[in-house]
Chain A
Amino acid sequence: MLHERELKVFVDGTTHFFEVAAEQPASIGSPYLMGEPLALHEYSGVIEVSGRREGVVCFTAPKTMLAVMLMKMHETDFGHETMRDLVGEVANTISGNARRNFGNDFRISPPHVLCGDTPPIEPRPGARTFVIPIHWRSHSAKLVVALS
């Protein structure tokens, strides 16, 4: 079972990125348990967790949202690579925040990025999967926490 405080660490890592980098805080929507496969957006940053918890944490966002984020960050390049970097940076921030809060009990992999048509996330056997909508301006992304 994943505790609320652990969830909050991942959520805070995500919203903190928006607050600092995109200069506008993000809010979270109504969180729920993933009961069926979840389709990913165009860009997803994934970190794998091992140690006291096993599983993955994924930040998935639509291209339009990333483009507006880049604009707010005064970037002029809205290309594919820049968007990959951005979503990877969000995952990196989540990872750093988790490391800081959980210490050595959590081993967290460097983030990797998925983009384009990727298969939906399947519920992991033995792990409950939480889906937390992330709202920023008029856009929505999702934070998926699947840990056992």
Chain B
Amino acid sequence: MSPAVPLDRRTALLIAIGVLLAAALGTALGTGFRLATRLREDIAAVQTASTLQAYPRELLREVSGLRERLEVRAYVGRSLATLRGSTHDFGVRLRALAAIDHDPAQLASVQRRWRGYRDELAPVLGFRGEPYVDSDAAATRLSGDGHRLYARIERARLYALANARGFDADLATVTRGLQSSASAAATRLRLLLLGGVLAALVLAAIAAWLLLSRARHARAAQEARERTRDILRTVREGFFLLDADHRIGPVWSDALGRMFGREDFAGLDFRNLLAGLVPEPTIATALKYVDLLWGERANENLMKTINPLSQVEVKSTDPLNPEPRYLQFDFHRVTGAHGVKYVLCSVVDVTSNVALARELQESQVGANAQLDMLIGMTRTDPLQLASFLDTADAGLKLVNAILREPARSDADFRRKLGGLMRELHTLKGEAGALELRGVADRLHALESRVSACESRPALSGDDFLPIVAKLDELVEYLRGIREIGARLARTDAEPAASPADAIAPILEAAAARLAQDHHKALRVECSGFDAIPRPLAKPLKDCLVHLVRNAAVHGIEDPDLRRTRSKSDVGLVRTRFARTADGYELTVEDDGAGIAPDAVKAAAVRAGLITEAEAAAMDTRAAIALIFRAGFSTMSEVSLGAGRGVGMDVVARTIHALGGRIGVATSPGKYTRFKIHLPAAADAAAAVA
């Protein structure tokens, strides 16, 4: 951008040229006016001189005529009057010429001759007598006065004759002088006009060049401003200037608005910018630091090492993304001729970098967890582990397939959540049962990401980026387990007779872990699992894991309570599979607290699944059926074991998909029994699924 000062200089130059142009034009006009006046006067003088040239001959003719009239004794009064008039006119014109003529020396000779002429004519012109005497004897003859007049006329005539040539020559000289003067004045006037026009053209050309230059500079300045605006609009860093009073200048980059969620930066105090985002002591230190930058002696590079805002945690102002961000402030002096003008502040969002550093640390923790996993795997039956990994692989492929379904609207994205939750929850239950804590933790984290989406007012693809990233992490983790498992697996391991063989150990392990986690004592009894058809093994295993977990968490009481109810300290969960005449029957029964319909209804109202009026109108059967609704849980907090309201929903959906039905029998304080009836064709349905 062109600086403002040269533009002002251009304006001043333009004004100076305007003044010069006006002065030149004024001078030219003034001089021209004087020259034109002189020219007009010279022309008038030439005309007068030309007129005067005729007078000597005219006077001679009149004097001669007067003499002749005296000789023939004619009347001379009129001729005298004419001579007086001519003489007077000549005198007047000569004086006028003397007043105009700029070279009196040339006219002096004419005036001298004229004075002589006038002196000779003076007695003639002053004649008042009677020139004739009439007598009968001698007829008319000259009187005495007439003789004297005649003699004076003759003298004047002789003077005129003697000076006629001189008059002519003198007046011709005067006329030529005047003509020459007029010609010179005309030439000067032409030159002046030409010079004025040329000067005006030159000045006009300079003015036009300056105007064009100014327009070009203005255009360049405008383009520069637009480019600066584009830069400020595009850069990802927040830029602004601070004055000595810590106030933000009128220009800043758009990224600043995105970083701080405000736009009122002009004149904003730096303290107010940071207020509420960083602790007050940090703000105070930062202001002192900025003050130090105004001291020119302070070394800027050294000062960077003590910048209190070099990486500062900033509280989030976004209610949808409450995680803190990390900003890096950098300060640079902007100096001018009189020292520091501003402090340029750049702000960069380094949350990604901080997160990456943190990830590095986390990966170290992950490596330790992997070691724990390795130790855990050595305690897990390889066949159960392999079965789980196959299940997990299939489950996560299904999760990815759900993610892959095209989505643009909130409704499209929201439709995915239920399916994702069910798949992840099922896998988490099985991982927990096998005590694969690392897998269960990762599934729990992934589940939490999905769950967080449910509470968002509007969903978009951005909300699913963390989900797919966590899914990737889990897939990678499971791949690692599979590799380790393959190395650890015994090459001579006996293959399981049926996938159902793996179910009982999974349930027993799950029960043991849940008992430990919830400070309870319980055992699981399994019977008839060898009769589970191969296609039903996977879906029934999923259901059993959820039902056993449900019994362990919600059904079985803690030992103290059981004692007050005259029960054994160790709770019992019985699971039994049997063929029936028309299909299969799976029973899961616990000797726990039973289901309290009122507690179920209250939990459903809290979860927003039903209204209080609907709850009041509900019978016991309908109330108990609520436990199969998605999102239902009586737990107030989410844990690895329960609380998301997904497990029983998965059971209901799985059984429904197999064409079966679920019956629930319960007695408060005594037991809860789930009886699942599956049609004979259920195994075929499971095989297709």
Docked CA distance A13–B330 (Å): 24
Chain B 343-360 residues near chain A, CB threshold 8 A: 351-353, 355-356, 359
The reply to whether A31 and B403 contact each other, CB–CB distance below 8 Å, is yes
Pick from A7, A27, A97: contact of B465, CB below 8 A: A7
Give 1 or 0 for each of A86-124: 1 = CB within 8 Å of chain B CB. Answer: 000000000001001111000000000000000000000
- Chain A residues contacting B609 (CB-CB under 8 Å) are none
Given known A-B contacts A1-B476, A128-B472, A128-B475, A31 and B352 have beta carbons under 8 A apart? no
Docked CA distance A6–B466 (Å): 11
Chain A 2-47 residues near chain B, CB threshold 8 A: 2-9, 11, 20, 27-33, 35
Please count how many residues in chain B sit with their CB below 8 Å of the partner chain's CB atoms. Answer: 34
- Chain B residues contacting A101 (CB-CB under 8 Å) are 236, 352
Given known A-B contacts A6-B352, A33-B475, A133 and B406 have beta carbons under 8 A apart? yes
The reply to whether B461 and A33 contact each other, CB–CB distance below 8 Å, is no
The reply to whether A31 and B351 contact each other, CB–CB distance below 8 Å, is no
The reply to whether A1 and B473 contact each other, CB–CB distance below 8 Å, is yes
- Chain A residues contacting B416 (CB-CB under 8 Å) are 30
| A27 → chain B closest CB, angstroms | 6
Give 1 or 0 for each of B355-379: 1 = CB within 8 Å of chain A CB. Answer: 1100100000000000000000000
Docked CA distance A131–B413 (Å): 16
Chain B 150-169 residues near chain A, CB threshold 8 A: none
- Chain B residues contacting A57 (CB-CB under 8 Å) are none
The reply to whether B397 and A1 contact each other, CB–CB distance below 8 Å, is no
Instruction: Look across to chain B and name the residue whose beta carbon is closest to the beta carbon of A5.
Output: B352
Docked CA distance A135–B406 (Å): 11
Docked CA distance A30–B408 (Å): 8
Chain A interface size, under 10 / 10 to 19 / 20 to 34 / 35 or more: 20 to 34
Docked CA distance A41–B404 (Å): 18
Give the interface centre of A3, A6, A133 by most chain B CB atoms within 10 Å.
A3
A132 proximal to B (CB < 8 A) = yes
B215 proximal to A (CB < 8 A) = no
Docked CA distance A11–B464 (Å): 12
Given known A-B contacts A32-B400, A32-B404, A4 and B461 have beta carbons under 8 A apart? no
Given known A-B contacts A1-B473, A30-B403, A128-B472, A20 and B234 have beta carbons under 8 A apart? yes
- Chain B residues contacting A102 (CB-CB under 8 Å) are 352
| B510 → chain A closest CB, angstroms | 28
Given known A-B contacts A5-B355, A20-B234, A133-B461, A30 and B405 have beta carbons under 8 A apart? yes
Chain B 452-510 residues near chain A, CB threshold 8 A: 460-462, 464-466, 468-473, 475-476
| A89 → chain B closest CB, angstroms | 14
- Chain B residues contacting A20 (CB-CB under 8 Å) are 233-234
Chain B interface, >50% SS class: helix
Chain A interface, >50% SS class: mixed
A59 proximal to B (CB < 8 A) = no
The reply to whether B400 and A30 contact each other, CB–CB distance below 8 Å, is no
Docked CA distance A1–B359 (Å): 10
Docked CA distance A32–B402 (Å): 9
Instruction: Look across to chain A and name the residue whose beta carbon is closest to the beta carbon of B355.
Output: A5
Instruction: Look across to chain A and name the residue whose beta carbon is closest to the beta carbon of B470.
Output: A4
The reply to whether A3 and B356 contact each other, CB–CB distance below 8 Å, is yes
Instruction: Look across to chain A and name the residue whose beta carbon is closest to the beta carbon of B466.
Output: A4
The reply to whether B407 and A31 contact each other, CB–CB distance below 8 Å, is no
The reply to whether B400 and A132 contact each other, CB–CB distance below 8 Å, is no
The reply to whether B403 and A32 contact each other, CB–CB distance below 8 Å, is yes
- Chain A residues contacting B408 (CB-CB under 8 Å) are 27, 29, 135
Given known A-B contacts A9-B352, A28-B461, A101-B352, A4 and B407 have beta carbons under 8 A apart? no
Given known A-B contacts A30-B406, A32-B400, A135-B408, A3 and B460 have beta carbons under 8 A apart? no
Pick from A7, A9, A27, A28: contact of B469, CB below 8 A: A7
Given known A-B contacts A30-B405, A32-B400, A3 and B461 have beta carbons under 8 A apart? no
Instruction: Look across to chain A and name the residue whose beta carbon is closest to the beta carbon of B461.
Output: A28
The reply to whether B406 and A2 contact each other, CB–CB distance below 8 Å, is no
- Chain A residues contacting B406 (CB-CB under 8 Å) are 29-30, 133
The reply to whether B472 and A33 contact each other, CB–CB distance below 8 Å, is yes
| B553 → chain A closest CB, angstroms | 31
- Chain B residues contacting A6 (CB-CB under 8 Å) are 352, 356
The reply to whether B351 and A5 contact each other, CB–CB distance below 8 Å, is yes
- Chain A residues contacting B397 (CB-CB under 8 Å) are 35
| B439 → chain A closest CB, angstroms | 15
Docked CA distance A87–B416 (Å): 31
The reply to whether A3 and B400 contact each other, CB–CB distance below 8 Å, is no
The reply to whether A28 and B460 contact each other, CB–CB distance below 8 Å, is yes
The reply to whether B460 and A27 contact each other, CB–CB distance below 8 Å, is yes
Docked CA distance A1–B475 (Å): 10
Pick from B351, B400, B460: contact of A33, CB below 8 A: B400
| A103 → chain B closest CB, angstroms | 8
- Chain A residues contacting B462 (CB-CB under 8 Å) are 8, 11, 28
Docked CA distance A8–B412 (Å): 21
- Chain A residues contacting B400 (CB-CB under 8 Å) are 32-33, 35
Pick from A2, A9, A30, A103: contact of B461, CB below 8 A: A30
The reply to whether A30 and B464 contact each other, CB–CB distance below 8 Å, is yes
Given known A-B contacts A27-B461, A128-B472, A130-B468, A3 and B405 have beta carbons under 8 A apart? no
- Chain A residues contacting B236 (CB-CB under 8 Å) are 97, 100-101
| A104 → chain B closest CB, angstroms | 12
Docked CA distance A28–B471 (Å): 18
Given known A-B contacts A28-B460, A29-B408, A31-B403, A11 and B355 have beta carbons under 8 A apart? no
Given known A-B contacts A20-B234, A32-B403, A100-B236, A4 and B465 have beta carbons under 8 A apart? yes
- Chain B residues contacting A100 (CB-CB under 8 Å) are 236
| A122 → chain B closest CB, angstroms | 17
The reply to whether A130 and B461 contact each other, CB–CB distance below 8 Å, is no
Pick from A30, A130, A135: contact of B472, CB below 8 A: A130
The reply to whether B460 and A1 contact each other, CB–CB distance below 8 Å, is no
The reply to whether A30 and B404 contact each other, CB–CB distance below 8 Å, is yes
- Chain A residues contacting B475 (CB-CB under 8 Å) are 33, 128
Docked CA distance A56–B405 (Å): 24
Docked CA distance A35–B233 (Å): 39
Docked CA distance A124–B234 (Å): 34
Docked CA distance A128–B416 (Å): 22
| B473 → chain A closest CB, angstroms | 5
The reply to whether A31 and B359 contact each other, CB–CB distance below 8 Å, is no
| A25 → chain B closest CB, angstroms | 11
Docked CA distance A7–B355 (Å): 13
- Chain A residues contacting B356 (CB-CB under 8 Å) are 3, 5-6
Query: Told that A28-B465, A32-B404, A128-B472 touch, could you supply 14 new A-B pairs with CB distance under 8 A?
Result: A2-B469, A4-B469, A5-B351, A8-B352, A8-B462, A30-B412, A30-B461, A32-B400, A33-B400, A33-B403, A33-B475, A35-B400, A130-B468, A135-B461
22 examples of A-B residue contacts, CB within 8 angstroms: A1-B469, A4-B465, A4-B466, A27-B408, A27-B460, A27-B461, A28-B462, A28-B465, A29-B407, A30-B405, A30-B406, A30-B413, A31-B468, A32-B403, A32-B404, A33-B472, A35-B397, A97-B236, A101-B236, A128-B476, A135-B408, A135-B461
Q: Which B residues are closer than 8 A to A by beta carbons?
A: 233-234, 236, 351-353, 355-356, 359, 397, 400, 403-408, 412-413, 416, 460-462, 464-466, 468-473, 475-476
Q: Which A residues are closer than 8 A to B by beta carbons?
A: 1-9, 11, 20, 27-33, 35, 97, 100-103, 128, 130-133, 135
> What 9 pairs between A and B have smallest CB-CB spacing?
A28-B461, A4-B469, A32-B403, A32-B404, A30-B407, A31-B468, A5-B352, A128-B472, A4-B466
